[in-house]
Structure 1
C-alpha cells in the first residue's frame, strides 16, 4: 500500500509507532506510540537520556527493525507492507543511515564502501566511484579514498560513514550521534554538510546529546522512557541547553 503524496507530505512519518522487546516480566517498552513527521528541507534533532529510545527510533525509521505497533511511512510507502527485497531497495535508494559503529566493510577502501550502495542499485562502478569521490571531497577527506578502514582513525571512519549516507539522491538521512568521534571543528563542518543537504530538499533526523549540535536543527524532540515528551522549534544553543537540562532534571526527579 502506498499513500498519495502531496506537496506538504512528510518524507518520514512515524505513525503511533511502538516497539516492545521481550514478554511478561522481561517486557521492555523501547518506544510508546510515538507520532512524528519529518518534512522535506527539515533537520530534526532527537535528544534524551540513555535508554530513552533514541537509537530505536532511528532503526525503525530506517527500516532496520519493525515496530510492534503503528507504522513507519517513508515517501508515502508503508515499510511494514514491503517484502525484504523491496524494503532493501527503499533503504538503498531513499535512506542514508549513519551508524554509531560506522559499519564499514574492512576489505573495501573508503571509496568502495561509499560506492557500494550505488553499485548494488545498478549504477556502474565508474559512475559510483565518481559519486563517492565527490562525497569524500564534500567532507574534506578526499585523501582517504583508497585507504582501508583499519588504516583510519575513528573520526576518519565516521566521516566516511557519513559520506556513504549522503551519496546519491537520498531523501531521508538518519544519523546516530554523527559527530561522536570528531573534534569540535570537524563536527561543526559535518553538521554544516548535513544542514546543506536539508536546505537542498532532503529530510534528516539526528540523534545527539550535544545542545550545540542540536542548535543546527529546525526542531528538537525529546524522548524519555520511550515517550516523546517535548518538542521545540529552532532556537539558540543557550535555550537548547536549558531545555536539555530541564528534561534531564525531569528524568532525575521521577
Structure 2
C-alpha cells in the first residue's frame, strides 16, 4: 500500500487542567491514503472537529504525532507548517472563514499568490475552481453579497485550488440544499479518484455513502469503522427512515 497522505499516531488532545480538563481526542490512530475518501461521524462533542484541526496543522496534539505526506507536523517550524497548510492541505471550515475585504476570486487566489504564483495564473485557477463549484458568476462579488450556500461553495473552491494532496472538510454541505450538496460531494469524490486524500466530518449517513470508509468517534476515541458498502447501507437506512417520517407527516 502507498504511503499515507495523513497519519495520526496515538493523537491525543487535552484542553485545560485538573477539574477543568477535557480530553477532546484520546489516542487516535488513523491513516488516509492517496485516492481515499474518509467520512468521520459521531455525536456532538465526540472530537470530530478536533480531529480535523489536528490533521490540518491548525492545532497540535498534547501527545502522539500527526504526519502529512510523511512529515511530522510537530517537528516543523512555524514557516514550514504554514507552507504545508498552503500547499498540501485544503481546509473547508464550518464557518467559511472568507476574508470580507476580498472578492470570491481574490479569497481563492490568496494562498497561491503567497506561494509566488503569478496573479494571472492564480486568477485563472480561481476562476476554474469557481466554475467547478458551479458559481463562476461570483468571482468579483464580496462575501457579504453572497448567501451562506454561496460562501460555502467559494470556501470549498479555495480548499481545492492548486495541487492539494489532502482535503479536510467540516460539514461541507451544511449550508447547501440537497441537490447542491450532492454536487459538492461529487467534486470531492472526483478529487480523490484523481489521487488526493480527503477526510470529511458529517452527520448525514447519505453523505457518508460517498466515502470509501466511515470512522466513528465517541468521547474522543475512534470506536469503529466501516467500508464503503456499509456506508451505502447506512445511507439506505437513513433514506428509509426519512421516507417513513415524511409519510407520517
Scaled by the length of structure 1, the TM-score of the pair is 0.92
**Within 2, Cα distance between the matches of 1:156 and 1:88?**
27
**Within 2, Cα distance between the matches of 1:155 and 1:201?**
27
Aligned residue pairs total 238
Equivalent residue for 2:246? Answer: none
Match of residue 201, structure 1, among 191, 195, 201: 195
Match of residue 29, structure 1, among 23, 28, 33: 23
Equivalent residue for 2:243? Answer: none
**Within 1, Cα distance between the matches of 2:39 and 2:161?**
21
Asked if the contact 2:208–2:235 (Cα under 8 Å) also holds between the matched residues in 1, the reply is no
CA shift at 1:235, angstroms?
1.8
The answer to whether residue 66 in structure 2 is matched with residue 63 in structure 1 is no
Asked if the contact 2:206–2:236 (Cα under 8 Å) also holds between the matched residues in 1, the reply is no
**Within 1, Cα distance between the matches of 2:97 and 2:76?**
24
Deviation track 1:190-227 (CA, whole Å, cap 9, x = no partner) reads 00000000000000000000000000000000000000
CA shift at 1:147, angstroms?
0.3
SS across alignment from 1:71: strand
CA shift at 1:177, angstroms?
0.1
Equivalent residue for 2:39? Answer: 45
Scaled by the length of structure 2, the TM-score of the pair is 0.93
Q: Where does structure 2 lack aligned partners over 5 or more consecutive residues?
A: 239-249
Match of residue 138, structure 1, among 106, 111, 132: 132
CA shift at 1:239, angstroms?
2.2
The answer to whether residue 162 in structure 2 is matched with residue 156 in structure 1 is no
- Show structure 1 runs of 4+ deviating over 2 A: 236-239, 241-244
Q: Where does structure 1 lack aligned partners over 5 or more consecutive residues?
A: 1-6, 245-254
Structure 1 residues 201 and 238, CA gap change in structure 2 (3 angstroms): closer
Deviation track 1:105-137 (CA, whole Å, cap 9, x = no partner) reads 000000000000000010011100000000001
Match of residue 86, structure 2, among 87, 92, 96: 92
